[in-house]
Structure 1
Amino acid sequence: MCRAASGWEPFMQTSSPTVFAPDWPAIAAVILGVTAFSVAQGLTYPLISLTLESRGYSPALIGVNALAFAGGLAASTLLLGSLTARWRADRLIIASLVGCSLCLATFAASTSFAVWLGARFLLGFFASLIFMLGEAWLSAACPDRLRGRISGAYGAGMCAGFAAGPLAIPLLGSEGGLGFALTAVYLAIVAFATGMLMFSTRTVPEPSSTGAVFRFFRAAPLLVGMVFVFGFADIAAISAMPVYFVKMGYSQAFAAVSVTVLALPTAIAQPFIGLMLDKLPRERVALSAVTVAAASYLILPSMESEIAILAVFALMGTATFSLYTCALTMLGERYNGAMLVAGSAAFALAYAAGSGAGSSVTGAIMEAGGPKAGPLSVGLGLAVFTAALVLARRR
């Protein structure tokens, strides 16, 4: 493939074969599953924190509960090889959806902090499997001529789900477990629908190994870097920028609205980004996305009009999330077989590392250098990565 020889990934080992007929049942199953879980995750992330806070638990213990989720993510990545060697990936996805449903039912049925800790660990474990195996399956199921558009639809479903989930909290409340119970039923229904679709699928991801994950880090450092940068900038926008707005004198309501403005245009834009990835050189689209993301962070401190700030914020979210859509598209273009699952696992680890750094590092910089240092530091970091991509294209 001409794009694969552009110099971006000199250690690339394989390239995907052309698939002339998309495996639409598999594509539908993956997008349905990830959208459903994104809705559940978008609801439960704040709902768990709000429920624990209302029960009198300290912020430190609430943080420990969130850390259990991250522990589950790490455990599933380490066990990926043995799991995919023993069970087919499509069956693991269905089992993970059922597992997530049972974890949410546990939140509804129990008030024990220890039980919630275990359920949160398992929720992270199953969630990671859904994303890793789903993304690998998506890449295996679609032809390269449609890869960008299908990745865009996948990204739109994921982003819209995360944005829609919190909207249910005012309707369902944070007490009584109703939100957890209804979400558990919702995921169980989606697991059944996904299983029905799988009777018609023609593709399935190949087994992978933990060693292949680390080989992928060496083989595709720029793709992994794109996901790390996406995680860093995305979480900085979601968690640190609302704090920045409050410190700059804007209301808490404005800070909350900014997160919604960040998410909704991002979801709407991803199919159009996917179309660009199918019509234009993909490295150029990725380079444009990171350049726009860097510029939006750098100009944010100079903006004073609330409308202008929200417009920049919408552009920031779209450009930042587009990096992930680009990375997912290029993963399927350049790799096949076990390396697809390995690449998806490497992306999960890179996102976890980037998102963890995005919230902590940006917050520390704002504490040390003042509110404006936050967006400026993220913008400078994105600019440095932009320069790295330019150098890679020239090489």
Structure 2
Amino acid sequence: MLNGKTILLIIGGGIAAYKSLDLMRRLRDQGARVVPVLTRAAEEFVTPLSVSALAAEKVYRDLFDLTDEAEMGHIQLSRAADLVVVAPATADLLAKMANGFAGDLASTLLMATDTPVLVAPAMNVRMWEHPAMQRNIATLRGDGVRVVGPEEGAMACGEFGPGRLSEVPDILGAIRATLAEGPLSGRHVLVTSGPTHEPIDPVRYIANRSSGAQGAAIAAALRDLGARVSFVTGPARVPPPAGVEVIAVETAREMKAAVEAALPADAAVFAAAVADWRVTAEKAGKIKKEQGKLPVLDFSENPDILAQVSRMAEGRPRLVIGFAAETDDVIAHATAKRARKGCDWIVANDVSPATGIMGGTENAVTLITERGADAWPRMTKEQVARQLALRIADHLSQH
């Protein structure tokens, strides 16, 4: 619940602005006070009357409104909230934020605030993918602004791809995570999850049986302890949790690039089941079956993301955690892996078929650290995640 919290909601001008009305209603249902700010462009999509009615608050619109300045100046307005949320965050608003422009009420509030800021981007797919937009997003993340979404899907303009405003429950989850007070508040944790898919040809790929359930549970547990979580996920069966920054990838090389872009972080948890190899040269067309002949595939080794991050000379997370999914001699193999990779901890588990762990709902892990092996009882993946998140919080508080 958000009882007693004040949310300054800046509504940008886009067709997705209609979702802001539902967002206000749900925020109020959870006990929050919502102070709305409309940009001029937003008024083309939602009316000040409807916004005011749903927020049960005065709507702020004009930087040079003498009445507003007398009652509550824009500086005070920007600092009277527990969180500033921009939803939808248009390309124009994000560009103003990234470059320090303050030509209207919304951008001035964002420049003047000293409270946390969460943005939910929404725009055409080409705008989202434009290099300038990606530079702006990278700048904002570097400045500590939290980003939720955008999602992939069909858009009002008729195109399909990333750029859709996140659904309201996901924005709510991000708001709750940002406002969470816990032992990981102010910490940034990177989590990788799911399998990677290494293409052979346009219709075939190399993969594994990872569902992504354990990684998603870890990201959610870290979020619930107050961490800002960057969640780099391969094509998993389990959806990512709300309230974390999701970076979707397909291949090991894409995951490596996403990890590098998400750093620095206080801790990194590498729960992804990254494919060890890829086909050296992906075929441009589907490989045809020929009677009596088998295709010959040349393989190359994928980047070792865990080892590379563990051995970073600069910017290494204070705590680097790997996973070791083994089918035999679990402790011995995991202990050797920890030494070989150079990470701080290894979470080892037995994924032999008899255990039902790979792709299942439970896990039985052993935490390998410099102090030795600590075997945990079999429990749900959510319970494993909570226990690991608490261990991470305790470690970071002491180091």
Task: Provide TM-score, normalisation by structure 1.
Answer: 0.25
| Higher alpha-carbon Rg | 2
Greater relative CO, 1 or 2 (CA 8 Å, sep 6+): 1
More helix by share: 1
